[in-house]
C-alpha cells in the first residue's frame, strides 16, 4: 500500500475518462493531480437523486465496501468516510457485527477484523461523484456516449475520442484516454478498428445470479448482528444470502445462486429461496420486514479479464481499467476495492514518468503493473469459482486442489480461533495478501483442523439467536 497521498499538483494536458462509474471517477481523481483538465464522458444522464441508473445495472444489487476500498477512498478523498456516514451509511465491523457462515460453520466473531461502512451502491457512487466534482479541472459530460477512438494516421498514438449525444457528434481531443466503461467496454473492437492486435480474454463462469431487494428494517428490530453473510456450500446447496443495512433505515438483501439455481423474482419464490439458505436467520429477519423495492435479478457476474498486459503492440496514451480490464465474480466484493487499486497504480505510474509531458511507454507500463496488482484478487475469485462442478473456462489443477483443501481446514479453524479468523477476515477485506494465510500459526491451526465429513449441519448463530423483532 503506498503511503504517500495521491499527487495534487496538476501539470499540463487534458485527459479523457470514458465512464463515470466507480473506476472512472477514481481514475479521474488521480488524473486531476497530474494534468490540467480531466473530462469524464458518461453515457447515462447522471441523476441528482441517489438511485440506480441504466449504465450501472448492478446498482440494484447488494454491495459490500471492503476495508481496502474504504482505506483507499479515504486517501483519495480525505474525509470520505465521514461524508458517506453523514449521507446515511451505517458503520459495520467485520466480523463483530456480521454473522458469517462459511462452509465450515460460523466465523468466530471475537476477532478484531476491520471497520467499514454499509451503503447502497448508488449512495457510494453519488458521494464519490460529489467529491470529484468539487475538484478544480474536472468536467463531467453526461448523456454522451464514446463511439470510437481517434488516433494518429499510423494508429500508434491515441489522440482523443468520438462522442455522440443528443446535441450531435463531436471529437474530443486528449493527451491521454482512460477507458473505464465497465464490462461492456468496446476498446477491443476499437483497437481492431485501428488495425492493431486485440488482447486475449479469460472468462471463468460459475453461473452466479444475484437477486436483490430493499426492505424497511422493522421498527424496534433488535439482534446481536447488523449484517449477514451466509455462504452456500456450492457442492450441495449453492444458495447464498447477504443482508446489510443501508441508508434510510433499510436492508439490502441479496440472494445469490450458482450453476443455474437462482431466486425467483416473485414474492413466494423469493421467500422460498431465503428459507432454503443453510441458516434460517435471514428468512426470519425478513418475515417481519416490509419490502420497499421489486426484486432485481442480475446475471453479469463472470470473472472476465482482458489481457492488455500481454499486448506486444499497443497504441500509446490509451489505458484500460476497472471492470473494462478485469471484472470479478462479485460474491467476494472485490470490484470497488480493485477500482481503488487501479487508481493507485495509475497514480504511481504517472509519478514515475521521466518528465511531465512524457507519456511514452505509459500504456504498457500501466497495464503490466495493473495486472500484477490485480493478480491476487483475480486468483482468489477464480480459485474459489473453480472449486465447483459446472464452472466453465478452466479447471482446478493439483496445486489449486491442495490449496482448496488447505482453505477448507483454515475455515474450520476460523470458527474457533480468533487469530486465524482475524487474518482470514483481513484477507477477505483485501487488507492482507493471501500469502498471510500461510503464516506459521495458521499452518499449525489448519493442520489441527478437519472439515466435517459429508457437509456441515446448518449451525445456529453462535451468539444469541439471530433475528428477534419487537413489534412496534
Ligand X SMILES: Cc1cc2nc3c(=O)[nH]c(=O)nc-3n(C[C@H](O)[C@H](O)[C@H](O)COP(=O)(O)OP(=O)(O)OC[C@H]3O[C@@H](n4cnc5c(N)ncnc54)[C@H](O)[C@@H]3O)c2cc1C
Binding segment for ligand X (CB under 6 A), chosen from 63-71, 90-98, 345-353, 407-415, is 63-71
Strand order in the sheet with 37-41: 138-141, 37-41, 14-18, 176-179, 318-320
Choose which of 14, 15, 17, 19 interacts with ligand X (CB under 6 A): 19
Q: Does 258 bind ligand X (CB under 6 A)?
A: no
Angle at the Cα of 166 from the Cα atoms of 162 and 167, rounded to 5 degrees: 75
146 binds ligand X (CB under 6 A): yes
Using the rule CB under 6 A, is 23 a contact of ligand X? yes
Tell which residue, 403, 385, 393, has the closest CA to residue 258. Answer: 385
Shortest CB 230 distance to ligand X, Å = 15
- Using the rule CB under 6 A, is 55 a contact of ligand X? yes
Of the residues 300, 393, 418, 434, which one makes contact with ligand X according to CB under 6 A: 300
What cell was used for 304? 472476465
Q: CA-CA distance, 195 to 191, in Å (whole number)?
A: 7
One of 36, 44, 74, 83 touching ligand X (CB under 6 A): 44
Which residues share a beta bridge with 177? 16, 318
Asked whether the CA dihedral 239, 99, 248, 330 is positive or negative, the reply is negative
Helix (H) or strand (E) holding 444: helix 440-447
Our finding on whether 181 is near ligand X (CB under 6 A) is yes
**From the list 15, 31, 41, 117, which residue makes contact with ligand X (rule: CB under 6 A)?**
41
413 class by beta-carbon count within 10 Å (0-12 exposed, 13-18 middle, 19+ buried): buried
34-62 b/e with 16+ CB inside 10 Å = b? Answer: bbebbbbbbbbebeeebebbebbebbbbb
Among 97, 175, 247, 323, binds ligand X (CB under 6 A): 323
**Near ligand X by CB under 6 A, which window of 55-63, 192-200, 303-311, 354-362?**
55-63
Using the rule CB under 6 A, is 421 a contact of ligand X?
Answer: no
Listed ranges 2-10, 15-23, 104-112, 388-396: which one lies at the site for ligand X (CB under 6 A):
15-23
To 5 degrees, how large is the angle CA 279–CA 275–CA 331? 65
29 lies in the binding site for ligand X (CB under 6 A): no
Residue 80 C-beta: closest distance to ligand X, Å: 15
Interaction between residue 22 and ligand X (CB under 6 A): yes
Q: Residue 280 interacts with ligand X (CB under 6 A)?
A: no
Helices H / strands E in the chain, number of each: 12, 21
| Residue 18 in the binding site for ligand X (CB under 6 A) | yes
C-alpha cell at 285: 429477519
**Residue numbers 324-343 binding ligand X by CB under 6 A:** 324, 330, 333-337, 339
Cβ atoms of 292 and 155 closer than 8 Å: no
Cβ contact 326:10 at 8 Å: no
> Does residue number 257 form part of the binding site for ligand X (CB under 6 A)?
no
Q: Contact between 377 and ligand X (CB under 6 A)? A: no
Kindly list the distances between the CA atom of residue 125 and the CA atoms of 118, 133, 293, 424, in Å, as whole numbers in the listed order: 13, 12, 20, 28
Contact flag: residue 209 with ligand X (CB under 6 A): no
Q: How far is the CB of 258 from ligand X (least distance, A)?
A: 13
Distance of closest approach, residue 106 Cβ to ligand X, in angstroms: 21
Asked whether position 64 contacts ligand X by CB under 6 A, the answer is yes
Which of these, 53, 214, 27, 19, lies nearest to 118 by C-alpha position? Answer: 214
Distance of CA 192 to the CA centre of its chain: 29
Q: Which is nearer to ligand X, 26 or 420 (CB)?
A: 26
Query: Which of the stretches 5-13, 81-89, 316-324, 409-417 binds ligand X when contact is defined by CB under 6 A?
Result: 316-324
For position 43 contacting ligand X by CB under 6 A, the verdict is: yes
Q: In the bound complex, what is the minimum distance in angstroms from residue 350's beta carbon to ligand X?
A: 19
Residue nearest to ligand X (CB): 55
Considering only 6, 16, 17, 20, the residue that binds ligand X (CB under 6 A) is 20
Separation in Å, CA 147 to CA 41, 172, 313: 11, 11, 22
Task: Give the nearer residue to ligand X in terms of CB position, either 73 or 413.
Answer: 73
Least spacing, CB of residue 208 vs ligand X, in Å: 8
Angstrom CA distances, 204 to 208, 239, 301, 327, 388, stand at 11, 19, 10, 10, 12
Count of residues near ligand X by CB under 6 A: 38
Among 402, 274, 287, 381, smallest CA distance to 335 is for 381
Which residue, 105 or 322, has its beta carbon nearer to ligand X? 322
Q: Which residues bind ligand X (CB under 6 A)?
A: 18-24, 41-44, 55-56, 58, 61, 63-64, 69, 145-146, 180-182, 184, 210, 298, 300-301, 322-324, 330, 333-337, 339
Amino acid at each position: 500500500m503506498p503511503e504517500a497521498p495521491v499527487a495534487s499538483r496538476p501539470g499540463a494536458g487534458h485527459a479523457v475518462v470514458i465512464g463515470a462509474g466507480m473506476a472512472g471517477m477514481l481514475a479521474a481523481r488521480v488524473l486531476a493531480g497530474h494534468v490540467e483538465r480531466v473530462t469524464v464522458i458518461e453515457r447515462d444522464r447522471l441523476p441528482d437523486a441517489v438511485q440506480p441508473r441504466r449504465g450501472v445495472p448492478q446498482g440494484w444489487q447488494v454491495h459490500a465496501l471492503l476495508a481496502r476500498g474504504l482505506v483507499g477512498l479515504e486517501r483519495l478523498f480525505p474525509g470520505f468516510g465521514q461524508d458517506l456516514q453523514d449521507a446515511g451509511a451505517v458503520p459495520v465491523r467485520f466480523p463483530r457485527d456480521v454473522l458469517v457462515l462459511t462452509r465450515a460453520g460460523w466465523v468466530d466473531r471475537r476477532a478484531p477484523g476491520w471497520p467499514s461502512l454499509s451503503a447502497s451502491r448508488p449512495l457510494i457512487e453519488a458521494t464519490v461523484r460529489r467529491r470529484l466534482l468539487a475538484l478544480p479541472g474536472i468536467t463531467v459530460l453526461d448523456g454522451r456516449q464514446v463511439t470510437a477512438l481517434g488516433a494518429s494516421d499510423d494508429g500508434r498514438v491515441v489522440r482523443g475520442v468520438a462522442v455522440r449525444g443528443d446535441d450531435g457528434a463531436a471529437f474530443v481531443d486528449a493527451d491521454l484516454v482512460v477507458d473505464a466503461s465497465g464490462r461492456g467496454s468496446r476498446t477491443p473492437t476499437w483497437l481492431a478498428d485501428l488495425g492493431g492486435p486485440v488482447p486475449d480474454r479469460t472468462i471463468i463462469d460459475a453461473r452466479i445470479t444475484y437477486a436483490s431487494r430493499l426492505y424497511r428494517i422493522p421498527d424496534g428490530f433488535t439482534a446481536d448482528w447488523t449484517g449477514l453473510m451466509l455462504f452456500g456450500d456450492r457442492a450441495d446447496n449453492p444458495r447464498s444470502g447477504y443482508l446489510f443495512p443501508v441508508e434510510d433505515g433499510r436492508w439490502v438483501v441479496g440472494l445469490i445462486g450458482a450453476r443455474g439455481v437462482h431466486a425467483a423474482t416473485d414474492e413466494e419464490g423469493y421467500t422460498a429461496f431465503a428459507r432454503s439458505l443453510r441458516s434460517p436467520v435471514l428468512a426470519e429477519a425478513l418475515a417481519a420486514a416490509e419490502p420497499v423495492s421489486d426484486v432485481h435479478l442480475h446475471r453479469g457476474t463472470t470473472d472476465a479479464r482482458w489481457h492488455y498486459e500481454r499486448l506486444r503492440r499497443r497504441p500509446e496514451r490509451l489505458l484500460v481499467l476497472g471492470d473494462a480490464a478485469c471484472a470479478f465474480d462479485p460474491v467476494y466484493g472485490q470490484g470497488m476495492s480493485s477500482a481503488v487499486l487501479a487508481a493507485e497504480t495509475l497514480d504511481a505510474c504517472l509519478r514515475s514518468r521521466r518528465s511531465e509531458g512524457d507519456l511514452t511507454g505509459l500504456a504498457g507500463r500501466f497495464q503490466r503493473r495493473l495486472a500484477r496488482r490485480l493478480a491476487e484478487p483475480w486468483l482468489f475469485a477464480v480459485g474459489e469459482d473453480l472449486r465447483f462442478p459446472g464452472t466453465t473456462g478452466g479447471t482446478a489443477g493439483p496445486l489449486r486442489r491442495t490449496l482448496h483443501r488447505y482453505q477448507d481446514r483454515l475455515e474450520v479453524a476460523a470458527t474457533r480461533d480468533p487469530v486465524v479468523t482475524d487474518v482470514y477476515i483481513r484477507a477477505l477485506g483485501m487488507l492482507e495478501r493471501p500469502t498471510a494465510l500461510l503464516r506459521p500459526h495458521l499452518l499449525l491451526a489448519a493442520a489441527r483442523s478437519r472439515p466435517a465429513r459429508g457437509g456441515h449441519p446448518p449451525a445456529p448463530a453462535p451468539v444469541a439467536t439471530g433475528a428477534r423483532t419487537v413489534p412496534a
